[in-house]
């Protein structure tokens, strides 16, 4: 990489060029190279080189913090016992005025984890950008041992009620996996009428890696449905509000009336 002892013999632009790819595409395998660069430039008195040094250190520190955060989420799930299959479940779409309610169940390989196969960046799906959610959803599906997504449409919500539907999608996502879980971790709600041990976790998508993964793939799945509906029913802003009751959505309802995917039990006081 660098074959001279004195970093000042290299221009700043050269140092920046060599390190840019390491920083922009940082992963743990790069750490040794970045630490080597740090040692090489740490005593260089040029201001811009010191800025580069600080940027490298910050990149490494942020990665270490993220690794520790994610390990804590994995360890949270492992702490429930020596189970082969731990399913995390979460739902999305309980509150919107239109569209389905969706739940996902995810079983990760918690028996063979190491620093190199952890899924970094996982958190409550609402705290992620849409692009990041889509990126992580693909990774989760690739790395999960099993996953299942279940939805119930607006007509079922109107007929059965949102509480019943909320429980049903959580239950079905967990019980129709290709393997029966040993335990189900659910976000916020205990699942009724399920014959599998269930632990419900308050703010589970912040604590449990499996629940957070379920939250992400459920959100990506439902958002795609609502984006497709936005092309068919363009008056309500579904592509941005995902069926939630934003001012644009309410205005569309009042002007054009409800669409076939609206939950009539939710909008009876609006139209």
Assign domain 86-217 to a CATH class. alpha beta
Is the CB of residue 186 less than 8 Å from the CB of residue 196?
no
Query: pLDDT for 149-161, tens place per residue?
Result: 999 999 999 999 9
Q: Whole-angstrom Cα distance, residue 67 to residue 192?
A: 35
91 is in an annotated binding site: yes
124 is in an annotated binding site: no
Query: pLDDT for 10-68, tens place per residue?
Result: 788 878 877 777 676 666 566 777 778 888 888 888 888 898 888 888 888 888 898 89
The pTM for the full model equals 0.86
Domain boundaries, the chain: 7-78, 86-217
115 is in an annotated binding site: no
Q: Which pLDDT value is given to residue 4?
A: 47
The residues of the chain scoring below 50 in pLDDT are: 4
Contacts of 120 (CB under 8 A, 6+ apart): 66, 67, 70
Q: Which pLDDT value is given to residue 2?
A: 56
């Amino acid at each position: 990489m660098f074959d001279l002892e004195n970093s000042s013999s290299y221009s700043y632009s050269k140092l920046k060029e060599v390190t840019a790819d390491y920083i922009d595409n940082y992963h743990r395998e790069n750490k040794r190279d970045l630490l080597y660069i740090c040692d090489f430039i740490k005593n260089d008195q040029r201001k811009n080189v010191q800025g580069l040094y600080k940027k490298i250190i910050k990149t490494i520190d942020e990665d270490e913090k993220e690794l520790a955060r994610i390990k804590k989420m994995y360890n949270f799930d492992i702490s429930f016992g020596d189970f082969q299959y731990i399913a995390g479940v979460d739902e999305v779409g309980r509150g919107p005025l239109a569209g389905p309610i969706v739940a996902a169940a995810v079983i990760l390989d918690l028996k063979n984890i190491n620093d190199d196969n952890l899924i970094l960046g996982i958190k409550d799906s609402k705290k992620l950008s849409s692009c990041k959610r889509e990126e992580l959803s693909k990774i989760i599906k690739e790395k999960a041992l099993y996953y299942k997504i279940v939805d119930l449409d607006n007509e079922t919500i109107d007929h059965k009620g949102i509480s019943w539907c909320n429980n049903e999608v959580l239950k079905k996502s967990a019980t129709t996996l290709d393997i029966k879980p040993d335990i189900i971790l659910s976000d916020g709600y205990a699942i009724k009428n399920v014959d599998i041990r269930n632990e419900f976790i308050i703010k589970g998508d912040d604590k449990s890696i499996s629940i957070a993964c379920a939250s992400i793939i459920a959100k990506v799945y439902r958002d795609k449905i609502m984006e497709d509906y936005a092309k068919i029913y363009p008056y309500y802003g579904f592509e941005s509000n995902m069926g939630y009751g934003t001012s644009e959505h309410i205005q569309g309802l009042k002007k054009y009336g409800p669409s076939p995917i609206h939950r009539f039990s939710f909008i009876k006081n609006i139209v």
